[in-house]
Chains A and B, each alone.
Chain A
Amino acid sequence: MRREVPLTIVFICGAFMAFQYFVPHYASATVYEYALNWTTIISIFTLAVGIGSLVNLHSDRIARRKPTWRYSIVTLAALAFMTILGVSSPDALSNPTGLFMKVYFYILSPVQATMFALLAFFIASAAYRAFRAKTLLATLLLLSAVIVMLGRVWVGDMLTGWLPEGLRFSYVANYILDFPNTAAKQAIYIGVGLGVAGTTLKIILGIERTWLGGGK
């Protein structure tokens, strides 16, 4: 019951959806549309559960006075504040002067943006301290990277502007992107496509069961 039912559901849904692709008949199309719709609705609840676990995690931290429990209060308070703000007013999402939008633009958005902006510093530091042409392969990689970086900006053309077009950085960079890069990515995508097919097949057939988690 605990394992058989989910495995049966996966098999029926998976096999039907896989073969539906080849059967355009309206009966099959109707079932397909409902299945898609149901899945979207179920995923709303999946996200809700995610938020539920977040609350669980932080209230647990507070209850047990874990080292960072004071910060957990901040998290929960912010969650409650934003939820009330967003759900209570019907035009929270469309009123640009409302408090909800203000919190989004002045707190949420800048912080998320800045978190990623840190990466520029990290990449510079790693360029200096760790990216080494130790092997032939690493050398090839770094050379290709340098050409593409120069070819994408005007400095590259400034350096090589006197050469015939076929030897300028921008042309060579485009050439690398258009041809060897395409070949590499194609090989990888064929591998990825087969890999995904293998994994989904194992899920549908019930061979791959890690998603069931532990327990019986």
Chain B
Amino acid sequence: MYGGFWQKVADLDRRWIYLVIGLATFIPVLTYIRVPVSITSEVSAVYDKLDSLPRGTVVMVPMEFGPSTMAELQPMATAVLRHCFSRDLKVISTALQIEGVILVEQVLRETAMEYSKNYGVDYVFLGYKPSPDMVILNMGENFRNSFPRDYYGIELDSLSMMNGISNYSNTACIVNINATSGVDYWINYANGRYGADLALGVTAVIATDYYAFLHSGQIFGLMGGLKGAAEYERLIGRPRDIANRAMTSVSVAHVFIILFIIIGNAAFFANRRKDRS
């Protein structure tokens, strides 16, 4: 009878699991309970760097994410941009992933509006060009090589902010928010070839891969997924924003997934013992 129970557990219809995980994620979305978020040094390194720059410094925040990854990276992008704009840093941005161009434009425009920043004076959006590797290399020579005109079709030379800004060496640092494997190009080309000071904000899926570059000093900071975004929101003093709210769901869902792994394994070993005897 006992073995039969474990057999039933092992054969549970997968749609029950879908239902459980759906509810485990969904109910916390409704409740808005907030949970504490611990701050890690790799995220605060990004914050400290941006926070130490003098007002008016030009930084680059290239954003490569599309609708499929916006749940993770849009909160992060918003938090970083809010920090930049609140500190009167000037922002140059690109969107080298084609699906996300309009999304990035929206994030940039709306955050800038929130801080009443003016286009061309406080921030510039260069937009999209195909083949990110070549574009990243080309921008290392001169932004105008890849982007004679910005996203809105305005010539770069007629934007007052771009005056005297020719390539990465005129920017204080690059905070690349990226969901694609194009991150490697930023490390290899922008940092490796042109020596740009680089930090990454990436999806949690690829975040662990970039600790090696943190260790080697090729990047100075690293934000991974919603957790990274939630930490950044805390650092800029906005612990009620979207990523922090989502951390509740993440917590509950993690617990359930761990439970699934444990129950699944228990059933597996119980059944195996039964098979043997």
Contact = CB atoms under 8 A, between A and B. Distances in A.
B21 A154 contact: no
Given A153-B247, A185-B209, 12 more contacts: A33-B141, A33-B145, A39-B134, A112-B66, A120-B21, A125-B17, A127-B257, A131-B261, A149-B254, A150-B254, A153-B254, A186-B216
A112 B211 CA distance: 29
A93 interface: yes
Interface stretch (B46-54, B77-85, B98-106): B98-106
A131 B259 CA distance: 12
A112 B135 CA distance: 25
Contact of B68 (A43, A116, A178): A116
Contact of A128 (B193, B210, B227, B260): B260
A146 B256 CA distance: 11
A131 B258 CA distance: 11
Given A36-B134, A40-B131, A112 B265 contact: no
A182 B145 contact: no
Interface of B: 10, 12, 14, 17-18, 20-22, 25, 35-38, 40, 66-71, 99, 101-103, 105-106, 109, 129-131, 134-135, 137-138, 141, 145-146, 151-152, 193, 208-212, 214-216, 227, 247, 250-251, 253-258, 260-261, 263-265, 268
Contacts of A21: 193
Interface in A179-198: 181-182, 185-186, 189
Contact of B265 (A43, A105, A133): A133
16 contacts: A36-B137, A37-B145, A37-B146, A39-B134, A43-B130, A96-B106, A96-B109, A112-B66, A113-B71, A121-B22, A129-B14, A154-B38, A154-B251, A178-B215, A181-B208, A182-B211
A142 interface: yes
Contacts of A43: 130-131, 134
Contact of A186 (B105, B212, B250, B257): B212
B105 A94 contact: yes
A123 interface: yes
A40 B135 CA distance: 7
B25 A120 contact: yes
Contact of A44 (B130, B138, B250, B263): B130
Contacts of B247: 153-154
A174 B260 contact: no
Nearest to A123: B257
B67 A113 contact: yes
A177 B211 contact: yes
Contact of B264 (A37, A115, A132, A154): A132
